[in-house]
Amino acid sequence: MPPAGYSPVHVEQDDVFTDEPRDSSFVRPPTYYEEGPFDPPSSDDEEDAFLEKNTSVNTDMEGDGGLVVGGTKKRPSSLRCLVISLGSLVATAAIIGMFAAFSYTGTSYRVRGTKHITMDHIFNGTFRAQSQTVRWVPEAGDGVFATTIDGHITLVDLKTNSTRNLVSMGDIKDEHGNIIGWGSWELSSDMELMLIKADYVKQWRHSSFGNYYIHNLTSHQTYPLITPSYPPTTVIANWSPTGQSVAFVTSSDLYVLSSPSASATPIRVTSTGNSSLFNGITDWVYEEEVFSSPTALWWSPDSAKLAFLSFDETTVDEFTFPVYNPSDDSYAVVPYPDHVTMKYPKPGYNNPLVSIHIFEMDRYLTSVNSTANANMTEIAEHATLELDWNGRQPANNSVIAEVAWVGDAALLVKEVNRAADNGSVILFDLHQGASNHGEVIRILGKNGEQGDEGWIDSAQNILPLTSDLSSDGIPAYLDIVPTKEGYNHIALFRPASNHTPQFLTEGKWEVTDTILAVDPRRNLIYFRAANPSSTERHIYSVPLPTGNSYESAKPSALTDNASPGYYDANFSPKAGFYLLNYQGPSVPWQKVIQTEKPDFNYVLTDNTNLNNTIAEFETPIITYSTIDSDGYELNVREIRPPRMDDSGKTKYPVLFQVYGGPFSQQVDLKFNLDWHHYIACSLKYIVVTVDGRGTGFKGRKLRNPVKDNLGHWETRDQINAAKIWAAKEYVDPKRIGIWGWSYGGFMSSKVVEADAGVHSLAMAVAPVTSWRLYDSIYTERYMNLPQVNPSGYVTASISNVTAFNKVDFLLAHGSGDDNVHYANSAHMLDMFTAQKIRNFRFRMFTDSDHSIGRRGAYRELYEFLTQFLIEKWGKGARQRGW
């Protein structure tokens, strides 16, 4: 929310930007932001001096009461009174400031102590807010959650205010009697058995291998799901919603254990799994860009059927990167480095081919029980359906974006094309004897629900309504769908075959994330929204229609939306309770609240110690505002040094922090004290963040312009913002820089390439430098295929490096980055060599992935950035001479 009296600033439009079609033969773009040298007056041009701690100014009174600067006259006694009065005013202002520190009206004034923030404070957890997770246990009833107390998993019942131990961790032992070290667990629906994952071995961002065990809570017997292996080969294992069946994937094949016991033999559902064929688990690109999970299997509500995806990566090209040192010892010498080879589809190349299957477990068991000397493999094949539908995208142009059961025999599949501008939602009726052929019930994209030139968002938001919430038990569901005005809102589809969304929320604000919960008894839907401002998050409820007619109802806020805030919530299974997480702008806290009794407050964390700690430190002032860039209102956050002089006498360097990726958000009200706060307090820099075109939660009209043209309008917005700050009286326009990580590193590099003459410094960490080098699903969603948009791929990448000679540039990348490959930085370094670009600093962090954390690299990266800033800009502001 903009502070009072802060109005958007208009920026003159540059005529070098046009909407003329791009020439497909275009190879290297011109420096398309060049408008001649940008050379505003600087404090350096007026013989400014660095501020010194011991600098003082004598102020004497003239005979007529006027001030003499640098004079030698004696102060009259009346001046002593003036000094005392001024001292009183300062003390009063300090007290008022302390009270203001606890309020928020667009500017976050934090309590200022006397201690100075150091890098150690940032990285040793001094300012880390403590938080706890609430693990709701639906099997034990609504309002029951699990926690760990004295070596036990303990169930806390909020309704009865009682606790009981579920299991002692010491009881869970392997076949040799050794206590199992485990990291995750899940209960069967009858609470008799516990499924445990041990021997964790990380794979990609969201996936890992492990050995699974089943523990009987009554007999205290523990046995492996399958024979343990080292290294383990099982990726996921899930209980069925009812009964005691377990579906799991090991060595890329799907199995089902229908009745767990130490001697039970699992059903082998698939037998095609290998290093290029995956059943029930995602490949790398689907895990990273579609599902944010390795799971690609879904039980039907009655546990009779199991939907799963199969991925064929046979024709997907491989990418290999070296592992120079597999150990944690930085001094280890490894004569022959290892390597990682992965299937990594890039724009325009082959994607994995995905098929959708249903294993009908009820049909399988019936066949087995009625057939003598049954061939289990053949029966499993006959009990497995492959789904199809009219109008399906060609296999090499298909992305399966979502799979969701909306009834015991009703399945929804959401498919989009690679360019994410055309898609459909398909409904399958899978009752006994029904066809495996689906019906298209919704059209997505330009000619469908989106209805514009943007993309179809990648999200899994479908929430089925239970039979007691749908008319006559007919399947129905909720989804988050863009309105005609381009804002994401909750829509009801009842029955599930309905083609037309019935919007339950509306307005120039957006529902975020997934729908949080549905209260079946009170007919309420709970959700989180960027409302009343896009930088906030509040929790709301809206009625679920009970009849065929419905009048739009205003959402009811569960949080105080009259005060700026950022909240999240985790509801119990029947929505009788929820964990409310206050995440900013002040110090976070957590409470468990009963929906029908808001006075019920179970305080989980209050971070009292963090509040006390922050009170001891000198912390920055944070302001929120908006600017106008070519008619688009953009959110801005400015982190200012403590006691900043904004009179114009003192000139401060400004470092822009940028990410800017599609549907991302950096400017929000979440609490944070990180490296940016350190450089504001200790280096006396101003840090500015601007969410430009393409970013999220302000509607599709702000997001859509970047489609097929990544890096163009976002770069313009960053340059427009930098020009606005360069013109401010308190800014040193000779010291304006920009830095970012990942997409932010790409943005920093694009700003330099633009050669607008505003920035004197840029830092890029793990940047994309050519979208031909990134993965296909993410890139093509926003850029289409290179064969369709060839010139767009040139202008959207770093293609002209001549301007890098004009700035101080830092580049850093991890050599083991499996996401944005080190090849991106290698490509840019090659261009630097060709153009004789030499005034840059580069560092490769050996074996670090995209997060740059291997062998102490994370802290070292920020030391590297800090030293570079100090070397190029120095510490502190500069002051005009009198």
Least confident of 22-36, 282-296, 601-615, 659-673: 22-36
Q: What is the mean pLDDT of residues 845-857?
A: 96
Task: State how far the Cα of 10 lies from the Cα of 395, in Å rounded to an integer.
Answer: 48
Q: What is the mean pLDDT of residues 415-440?
A: 90
pLDDT over threshold 70, residue 860: yes
Q: What number of residues does the chain have?
A: 882
pLDDT over threshold 80, residue 875: yes
Which range among 42-46, 92-96, 446-450, 473-477 has the greatest average pLDDT?
446-450
Note the pLDDT of residue 839. 92
Least confident of 63-67, 545-549, 782-786: 63-67
Residue 829, helix vs strand vs coil? helix
* Residues 881 and 776: beta-carbon distance below 8 Å: no
- Whole-prediction pTM: 0.85
Note the pLDDT of residue 43. 39
* Share above pLDDT 70 across residues of the chain, in percent, rounded to a whole number: 86
pLDDT tens, 747-760? 999 999 999 999 99
Note the pLDDT of residue 263. 82
Note the pLDDT of residue 71. 32
State the Cα torsion 224-225-227-231 to the nearest 10°. -90
Domains (range + CATH), the chain: 43-53+611-879 (3.40.50.1820), 388-457 (no CATH), 467-606 (2.120.10.30)
What are the start-end ranges of the H helices in 101-184? 119-123
Task: State how far the Cα of 73 lies from the Cα of 352, in Å rounded to an integer.
Answer: 85
Note the pLDDT of residue 576. 93
pLDDT over threshold 90, residue 260: no
The rounded mean pLDDT for the chain is 86
**Terminal CA-CA length for the chain:** 38
Local confidence band at 881 (pLDDT 50, 70, 90 cut-offs): low
- Name the token pair of 516: 């949080």
pLDDT tens, 199-235? 999 998 899 999 999 999 888 889 999 999 999 999 9
Residue 795, helix vs strand vs coil? helix
- Name the token pair of 507: 């307005």
Note the pLDDT of residue 599. 83
Q: What is the mean pLDDT of residues 26-53?
A: 35
Chain center to CA of 12: 33
- Token pair 């794979």 in the structure block, residue: 203
Structure-model confidence comparison of residues 92 and 371, the more confident one: 371
Closest C-alpha to 533, from 632, 669, 670: 669
In the annotation, is 190 catalytic?
Answer: no
Note the pLDDT of residue 369. 81
Note the pLDDT of residue 876. 83
Local confidence band at 375 (pLDDT 50, 70, 90 cut-offs): confident
Among residues 300, 303, 310, 742, which one is catalytic?
A: 742
State the Cα torsion 432-435-440-442 to the nearest 10°. 10
Among residues 817, 818, 847, 849, which one is catalytic?
A: 817
Q: What is the mean pLDDT of residues 312-324?
A: 96
Closest C-alpha to 304, from 172, 465, 431: 431
- Name the token pair of 550: 């419905």
- Name the token pair of 51: 């501020």
pLDDT over threshold 80, residue 549: no
Structure-model confidence comparison of residues 317 and 471, the more confident one: 317
Residues forming a β-bridge with 127: none
In the annotation, is 668 catalytic?
Answer: no
pLDDT tens, 690-737? 999 999 999 999 999 999 999 999 999 999 999 999 999 999 999 999
pLDDT tens, 163-212? 999 998 888 888 888 888 888 899 999 889 999 999 999 998 899 999 99
Please name the residues in contact with 157: beta carbons below 8 A apart, sequence gap of 6 or more. Answer: 140, 141, 143, 144, 163, 164
Per-residue HEC secondary structure of 438-480 comes to: EEEEEEEECCCCCCCCCCCCCCCCCEEECHHHCHHHCCEEEEE
pLDDT over threshold 50, residue 239: yes
pLDDT over threshold 90, residue 10: no
Local confidence band at 22 (pLDDT 50, 70, 90 cut-offs): very low
pLDDT over threshold 50, residue 47: no
Note the pLDDT of residue 471. 62
In the annotation, is 742 catalytic?
Answer: yes
Note the pLDDT of residue 45. 41
Structure-model confidence comparison of residues 44 and 316, the more confident one: 316
pLDDT over threshold 50, residue 543: yes
pLDDT tens, 363-372? 888 888 877 7
Give me the phi and psi of 858, to 5 degrees please.
-60, -50
Instruction: Number of helices (H) and strands (E) in the chain: give both, helices first.
Output: 14, 49
* Share above pLDDT 90 across residues of the chain, in percent, rounded to a whole number: 72
Note the pLDDT of residue 882. 42
Local confidence band at 469 (pLDDT 50, 70, 90 cut-offs): confident
Structure-model confidence comparison of residues 774 and 92, the more confident one: 774
Q: What is the mean pLDDT of residues 525-540?
A: 97
Q: What is the mean pLDDT of residues 233-241?
A: 95
- Name the token pair of 298: 């879904």
Task: State how far the Cα of 247 lies from the Cα of 237, in Å rounded to an integer.
Answer: 6
